[in-house]
């Protein structure tokens, strides 16, 4: 029933995960799209370009939503991007969100 589903979602709790996406992901509005997608899913975190041509950041939110954005980072990205691979690390359960919003860092 619905109550069971809600309890399960609550039981899943919040997770934090770091990510880095490789490929043609700079100069193609990748950060803007990642921010928009993150906000749409109700996640918080950040995204930034690295000096070696990748995009990295951190995602935090309900585990199921974080999974959705991980899939998006792995396969979709921005329309002009060409993702070769996405790596995720430092996944951990958190008690509370450590960011207020989803931001683009310079």
The predicted-structure confidence for 11-64, as pLDDT tens digits, reads as follows 569 999 999 999 999 999 999 999 999 999 999 999 999 999 999 999 999 999
Domain CATH for 89: 3.30.70.100
Q: Give the strand pairing for 102-104 and 55-62.
A: unpaired
Is residue 58 a part of any domain in this protein? yes
Q: How big is the chain, counted in residues?
A: 106
> Active-site positions?
31, 49
Range of the domain at 29: 14-104
Contact status, residue 88 vs residue 21, Cβ threshold 8 Å: no
Q: Is 93 exposed, middle or buried (0-12, 13-18, 19+ CB in 10 A)?
A: exposed
SS3 29: coil
Is residue 6 a part of any domain in this protein? no
Is residue 5 a part of any domain in this protein? no
Owner of token pair 């619905």: 2
Is residue 4 a part of any domain in this protein? no
pTM > 0.85: yes
DSSP annotation of 21 reads: E
pLDDT at residue 45, rounded to an integer? 98
Is residue 1 a part of any domain in this protein? no
Domain total for the chain? 1
Contact status, residue 58 vs residue 17, Cβ threshold 8 Å: yes
pLDDT at residue 82, rounded to an integer? 98
- φ/ψ (deg, to 5) at 39: -65, -40
């Amino acid at each position: 029933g619905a109550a069971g589903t809600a309890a399960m979602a609550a039981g899943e709790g919040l997770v934090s995960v770091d990510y880095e996406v490789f490929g043609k992901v700079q100069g193609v509005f990748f950060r803007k799209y990642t921010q928009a997608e993150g906000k749409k899913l109700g996640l918080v975190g950040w995204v930034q370009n690295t000096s070696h041509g990748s995009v990295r950041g951190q995602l935090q939110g309900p585990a199921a939503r974080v999974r959705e954005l991980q899939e998006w980072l792995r396969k979709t990205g921005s329309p002009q991007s060409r993702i070769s691979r996405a790596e995720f690390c430092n996944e951990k359960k958190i008690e509370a969100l450590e960011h207020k919003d989803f931001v683009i860092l310079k």
